[in-house]
Amino acid sequence: MSRDLPSASVPESEKRRYSEADVHAKLFEPDMTSLGYPLRTASQADGEYFLEQGHLALRRLQVEARERSFRWSLPDRQRSGCSL
């Protein structure tokens, strides 16, 4: 069963300009609503929802840091003759 999500109609170039809050409000929440999940409540900011968002943000930061570290160290590895 294929379902068209609201976020599919937004061009990728526009998505890349979104802030974290925009991604959540303009892409994530409408998609989740279209899939039948209930809207989040104000009290969820203090519960599991908030914690999960924090974990996801931390994971994204760790991946970005790893990618930056890899890109930064790549010329050093090439100069020393190490292969990847």
| pLDDT, greater one: 40 or 16 | 16
The boundaries of the domain holding residue 74 are 42-84
* Euclidean distance between CA atoms 74 and 84, whole angstroms: 9
Query: Does 54 lie in the same domain as 69?
Result: yes
Query: Does 80 lie in the same domain as 59?
Result: yes
Query: Does 82 lie in the same domain as 67?
Result: yes
Stated pTM of the model: 0.46
Query: Does 46 lie in the same domain as 30?
Result: no
Mean pLDDT of 10-14: 92
* Euclidean distance between CA atoms 57 and 69, whole angstroms: 18
Query: Does 57 lie in the same domain as 35?
Result: no
| pLDDT, greater one: 65 or 3 | 65
Query: Does 49 lie in the same domain as 13?
Result: no
User: In the chain, what are the helix, strand and coil shares in percent, each to the nearest 5?
Assistant: 75, 0, 25
pLDDT for residue 1: 44
Q: Give the number of domains in the chain.
A: 2
pLDDT for residue 24: 85
> What confidence tier does 36 reach under pLDDT thresholds 50, 70, 90?
confident
Q: 53-75 pLDDT, tens per residue?
A: 788 888 888 888 888 776 655 55
User: Token pair of 43, please?
Assistant: 């009290």
Query: Does 58 lie in the same domain as 20?
Result: no
Query: Does 66 lie in the same domain as 33?
Result: no
Residue 74 lies in a domain: yes
| pLDDT, greater one: 30 or 67 | 30
Residue 2 lies in a domain: no
